[in-house]
Amino acid sequence: MPAGEPAPRPHYDRLPTYHPADVDGTAAALDEDGFALIPEVLTLDEVAACRARIDALRPLPWDFTGPTDHYKNVFNRDPFWLPYLDRPGVVDLAEAVLGENCHVIGQTAWRSHPDHRGVGLHLDYLPMTWPEPGVPDGVRVPVFLATAHVYLSPQPAELCPTHVIPGSHRAGRRPARWETHWRGRAPQPVLCGAGDVLFFRSDLWHSGSDNRTDQTRYLLQVHYGRREMAQHFAPFLAWRFDPAVLAACNPRQLRLLGDHPQGAYD
Ligand SMILES: O=C(O)CCC(=O)C(=O)O
């Protein structure tokens, strides 16, 4: 490369996408790839409104701020956030793979500033460990927990996109500290638009990445779990639902927050 010329931009394949109404398609992608990318779930007006609301948040003792601001369970601070718990296409997929009585275990708003450094390759929760070479052909491990990343910024390669290794939920183990690939596959950036949603299972190998721009990346995470998986509502023993938030919920949102019909153990 002649001196002074910028390095060529690396080429990344785009990930397949699915229409929000195609729940069979997104559920099949979750089985096969461990994730589904769903474009245009939010309008750009909704994206702008969410970003403004995140800018107005003030940290509670269990939040953290710095290069990355991380505000937990924002649904309990303002009914504004409730419609992002039961977004059509996303909640339908959650119910399809986690059961009709699934619930929300967390909802976190992020701002990743220009000095943000992404978390390395990891998985969030491994429901079952398998010996090498991983989950045997023909065996289907159910999804226990899953996360929806609602991107509130466009995601070019430079603005700290999430990376995923397609199929790595079948590794049946966590990545070792030194591992950067699985079965020869490198983590692939999730390049997409603001308003798009990445829905992924908890055992998928994924990572954050560094912010290499002078902009802030905005993200809303909604974590869903089977009814039997614990909700992670800080400050835990001192948790109280805001009555104004509960009063504003529709029946599906109430169930997602834990208002279940009576079952075993209740
Ligand atoms: O910044 C990101 O997109 C990655 C977030 C992540 O890996 C996680 O919350 O587990």
Q: What pLDDT is recorded for position 18?
A: 97
Nearest to residue 162, comparing CAs of 193, 187, 195, 194? Answer: 187
Q: What pLDDT is recorded for position 13?
A: 75
Q: What is the mean pLDDT of each run of 10 residues along the chain (266 residues)?
A: 60 86 98 98 98 98 98 98 98 98 98 97 98 97 98 97 98 97 96 98 98 98 98 97 98 98 92
Q: What pLDDT is recorded for position 1?
A: 47
Per DSSP (E only), the strands in the chain are: 35-38, 68-72, 103-112, 145-151, 163-164, 188-189, 197-201, 206-207, 217-225
Closest protein CA for atom 4 of ligand 1: 208
Classify residue 34: in a domain, yes or no. yes
Classify residue 11: in a domain, yes or no. no
Domain count, the chain: 1
> Which CATH number does the domain housing residue 140 bear?
2.60.120.620
* Length reported for the chain: 266
Classify residue 12: in a domain, yes or no. no
Classify residue 15: in a domain, yes or no. no
Question: The whole model's pTM is what?
Answer: 0.95
Element (H, E) at 253: helix 251-256
The boundaries of the domain holding residue 137 are 23-174+181-256
Crossing angle of the two packed helices 23-32 and 90-98, in degrees rounded to 10: 60
Q: What pLDDT is recorded for position 14?
A: 83
- Pocket mutation for ligand 1, best pick of 15, 111, 149, 159 (most atoms within 8 Å of C-beta): 149
Q: Which residues have C-beta atoms less than 6 Å from ligand 1?
A: 118-119, 124, 162, 206-208
Question: Ligand 1 centroid vs 31 CA: distance in angstroms?
Answer: 20
Residue 109, beta-bridge partner list: 71, 220
